[in-house]
Amino acid sequence: KTEKTLIKEVAAQDNALEQFRFDVLKGLNNTPKKLQSKYFYDKTGDTLFQQIMAMPEYYLTNCEMDIFQNKTSELANIILETDEAFDLIELGAGDGTKSAFLLKYLLDQKADFTYMPIDISANILSVLNNKLKADLPELNIICLDGEYFKMLEKAAELSSRRKVVLFLGSNIGNMEKEEALSFCRGLNTYLSPGDIVLMGFDLKKNPQIILDAYNDKAGITAAFNLNLLTRINRELNADFVVEKFEHYQTYDPLSGACRSYLISLDHQLVNIDGQSVNFEKDELIYMELSQKYSLQESEELANNSGFETINHIMDSKSWFTDVAWLS
């Protein structure tokens, strides 16, 4: 790495840390208190999320894997409708296990494309990069580490080819409904007519199945939530006593909102970077929304953000769907 690149990286890290500090203090001074789940993904958080994806209760990964493994040609046909070269941009790529099936299929079809995974975690991107370099050496890959829209801008600077955007894993579910709408509208502004989005939605189903997926007996989801307190302790000089908080999960089948909270087990004061935050006994921190959709609600989201739904592919249980939208 050149000195200039290193200086830029350090500046970006400083910026990210400042933003993290700002968001944490703002969220904990809010009523009700809240923290943003995008901050779950430090190195430990990445590992815990990989463990969640491997849990029997967390059906989402298996369902989408079923689609990517067994309906690869259907997915690829949507993308290869025209044989024009393209950039395959994946938002929140993570370790890319599912997309790898599609990437391999597209390479076998001799499709002309560059894979551009975007993720907020530089750590998981380097895991992904190493894996794909080994498994698919002929793949053109450019990793973009940062916030979605900033990196979409960068992708547009690098190339003006047609775009296919993957937003898998029900990542859209981690946005409040209003936020999801403005996100999809924002996403559309980076696209041109004819560009395609493939978006993964976790569908409404038996509520117990959903609750169990986020309330696992082994306590991995609890550890995943609590790890954000440990991250705040380490990165923001705070003194959360993690044992004094407990994970609590809810699912509301009417709205499809699956929400996680951390409950303060005691009246306590927590010091964060010189600022004291008061927690009453039983006071909660709202941590994460994992919104579940009906197929119709996904179509409404598409229509309201200027996309046209052209197809949807379901897993064999019809628990999860990847929908294809045309810009």
Among 99, 290, 298, 321, binds ligand AVI (CB under 6 A): 290
Which position's Cβ is nearest ligand AVI?
290
Contact 40, 228 (CB under 8 A): yes
At its nearest, how many Å lie between ligand AVI and the CB of residue 289? 8
Among 61, 121, 174, 321, binds ligand AVI (CB under 6 A): 174
- With contacts defined by CB under 6 A, name the span among 15-23, 72-80, 167-175, 240-248 that binds ligand AVI: 167-175
Among 214, 251, 279, 325, binds ligand AVI (CB under 6 A): 214
At its nearest, how many Å lie between ligand AVI and the CB of residue 256? 12
State how far the alpha carbon of 207 is from the alpha carbons of 213, 249, 258, in Å. Answer: 10, 12, 10
**Does residue number 171 form part of the binding site for ligand AVI (CB under 6 A)?**
yes
Q: Among 62, 72, 124, which Cα is nearest to 93's? A: 124
Q: Do β-strands 162-167 and 257-264 pair in parallel, antiparallel, or remain unpaired?
A: unpaired
Residue located via tokens 């960068």: 154
- With contacts defined by CB under 6 A, name the span among 82-90, 166-174, 178-186, 300-308 that binds ligand AVI: 166-174
CB atoms within 10 A of CB 54: 11
**Does residue number 45 form part of the binding site for ligand AVI (CB under 6 A)?**
no
| Separation between Cα atoms, residue 104 and residue 69, nearest integer Å | 11
At its nearest, how many Å lie between ligand AVI and the CB of residue 264? 20
**Does residue number 288 form part of the binding site for ligand AVI (CB under 6 A)?**
yes
Contact 58, 315 (CB under 8 A): no
| Separation between Cα atoms, residue 271 and residue 268, nearest integer Å | 10
| Separation between Cα atoms, residue 139 and residue 133, nearest integer Å | 8
Among 99, 121, 170, 215, binds ligand AVI (CB under 6 A): 170
Q: Which residues bind ligand AVI (CB under 6 A)?
A: 52, 60, 169-171, 173-174, 214, 221, 224, 288, 290
